[in-house]
Structure 1
């Protein structure tokens, strides 16, 4: 049995019975094969269309290439100062290039910029060979990493996005990857916002046009092949909210930028990321029986942040469901109930309430006294 406690102690979460539901217009319809808009902080999907349709990713692939390189750097297996050998295979690869020369050595950090900013196929292959010994070995790492991240509809055949049978992904999986790039390696992510990179006397601009027209946009990656069309994964931050947009299969560079702008404008206009509680915040104190202390402090083990319609914070309803009889000993982290948060009848959160501090068992006489008190409490209420 659990006793229901009203969550009036939870700030910003009281619901008036007659509270009006916030009205949000339908999302824009884009001229693209597939698209998706995600809150980068919470992972909430705000807009999606054909988000699980398998499509060729073109150079969006290079987000995975750079993600793995960042992972290897942080694991200490490679360094940004490594001098990377440029093979004939890397030098000969067609398409977009950083213009490295076969038989030379290039600093790894420069190659990473060549992948992210210049979308260099030559730089991608050189990094793949440096990490795994061969591009084929690197592709195996790519697919294992995709599985680990939960990219369930993605399969890579190369490190560049060069057209190949079976080299496919989805808008949803690209959003998952972009979120990992941003959250797992924030220091490395800054490179995605750089507008230009010059190497070997050749200065090239980042193909992400939104970097030049919207100061809130700080990444991520473009892609284009005849089969894939024009694709763009972008991210922007406004008013403490970060959104990730994925647009795949548009007709031109201008179109992929314009359609992305529509998605981002919609998300920022009508939604907000609301910080509710931090892990370790005291939410409630409750009676403990048979303990050295009479109360246990309750809270949540992880931060609670929600993506909600703008202006809907007053329509949130929270309740704490706490075990009716709590007995010592209690260890920190023990689950003693649960916290739920609803919005207009929809359950948004259902997480355990945990003990934030341990409570040791009391001595014999205190336990005896508590046993007598509990006995009469059960009889007389």
Structure 2
């Protein structure tokens, strides 16, 4: 009994090392005054993935044609992995022609039934013209049916970290189960920009002509002098008007997503207002340098009982200019980690909050190798596990910085 009590005391002492609080005397924070009429909205910095503004960002709504951005990601992934090329050809089925062609009443690239079209042209029809026929042709050509393609969309969505959104078709047509959040759509935009820089260019094309019909890109930001170069609009009755937008100024890229606006004009105005405010009102602040030790994680059964955690790139957050808003960084991991642990292994996540809002989340990696401990070290850790169940605990380490 005495040994068990000692083990618990030692465990408590070790666990206390996992909660480190550093304070630098934070000035009083001031509330954000920005407002938007968009029912759901988010503004993100693409470089740091920091959230600058959000409003109902995790509310599920119909994405309308913004779902075609997920359709494009699946196609881009096929090209990147060599299963398709831009010269691959697809045949326009009667289903695609009837359901997505001009007679359907929706947006169309005016593809002719039974014709054969190159993948690159279908991508332009999908992205620039928002062609429902192009979306269906691509879905059927890749997966056999649009329903099968929707399964691929959801697989890819989960693989790239879209945790809440569900896709049921390639076009964005209304479906009771097809819902997305503006946060997920912003993550999708950043993923496409970072992963497919050579294919992302199609989102910035102003117009595309097919079947002798010239159509303008529906993204209103592209015609504004604000550095916009993508991505996609959407509109169906159940969701209102939405937009995923991206713009670059002075080397900084911002992503805006809005949904639920009353009309196209309000969608354009609110999207631009968010971008203008983001470029004007924020400055970058470095919390940790690249490779700097951010904190420590506890280790079980190793030659050492703690492991330094580092980021592979600088940890920066955008904060309001001249504001003393509180910035906190929390290390999240499940542990203690079981030895051995190799240097460079992702073992934790760093969550950075600006005030009450999560501004950034990024991986943390083992800063050194931790070998398996000696028999006596492992025996002691085994006793601690038996006495406290600490291996199954979830730990967090809190670091506060300004």
TM-score calculated relative to the size of structure 2:
0.69
Aligned residue among 161, 164, 168 for 1:153: 164
Aligned residue among 76, 83, 87 for 1:81: 87
Alignment of 1:246-257 (within 5 A): 246-257=257-268
Question: What is the Cα deviation at residue 310 of structure 1?
Answer: 4.9
CA deviations on 1:246-272 (whole Å, 9 max, x unpaired) are 110111111101011111122112223
Matches of 1:341 and 1:158, distance apart in 2 = 35
CA deviations on 1:17-49 (whole Å, 9 max, x unpaired) are 6x856756422232x221111122222222111
CA deviations on 1:58-79 (whole Å, 9 max, x unpaired) are 0000000001100000000011
Structure 1: 5+ residue stretches without partners? 5-14, 284-297, 319-329, 358-381
Alignment of 1:51-90 (within 5 A): 51-90=57-96
Aligned residue among 296, 306, 319 for 2:316: 306
Question: What is the Cα deviation at residue 305 of structure 1?
Answer: 3.4
Look up the SS of the partner of 1:62 in the other structure.
Answer: helix
Contact 2:52 2:318 in 1 (8 A): no
Is 1:141 equivalent to 2:148 in the alignment?
no
Matches of 1:340 and 1:258, distance apart in 2 = 32
CA root-mean-square deviation: 4.0
CA deviations on 1:73-129 (whole Å, 9 max, x unpaired) are 000001111111111111112210000111110010010011111000000011111
Is 1:233 equivalent to 2:244 in the alignment?
yes
Matches of 1:350 and 1:163, distance apart in 2 = 34
Question: What is the Cα deviation at residue 52 of structure 1?
Answer: 1.7
Matches of 1:165 and 1:190, distance apart in 2 = 32
Matches of 1:176 and 1:334, distance apart in 2 = 23
Matches of 1:138 and 1:317, distance apart in 2 = 41
Matches of 1:342 and 1:50, distance apart in 2 = 17
Look up the SS of the partner of 1:187 in the other structure.
Answer: coil
Give the equivalent residue in structure 2 for 1:102: 113
Is 1:27 equivalent to 2:38 in the alignment?
no
Question: What is the Cα deviation at residue 140 of structure 1?
Answer: 0.5
Look up the SS of the partner of 1:218 in the other structure.
Answer: strand
Aligned length: 328
Contact 2:126 2:134 in 1 (8 A): yes
Look up the SS of the partner of 1:197 in the other structure.
Answer: strand
Aligned residue among 201, 214, 231 for 1:220: 231
Could you tell which deviates more after superposition, 305-314 or 154-163?
Answer: 305-314
Distance 1:242 1:21, change over 3 A: farther
Give the equivalent residue in structure 2 for 1:126: 137
Look up the SS of the partner of 2:245 in the other structure.
Answer: strand
Structure 2: 5+ residue stretches without partners? 1-12, 18-22, 295-307, 330-340, 370-402
Give the equivalent residue in structure 1 for 2:297: none
Could you tell which deviates more after superposition, 21-30 or 100-109?
Answer: 21-30
Contact 2:125 2:208 in 1 (8 A): yes
Matches of 2:65 and 2:351, distance apart in 1 = 42
Look up the SS of the partner of 1:159 in the other structure.
Answer: coil
Aligned residue among 21, 30, 45 for 1:39: 45
Alignment of 1:1-381 (within 5 A): 23=30, 25-30=32-37, 32-92=38-98, 93=100, 94=104, 95-274=106-285, 279=290, 300-311=310-321, 333=344
Matches of 2:267 and 2:354, distance apart in 1 = 34
Distance 1:163 1:47, change over 3 A: same
TM-score calculated relative to the size of structure 1:
0.73
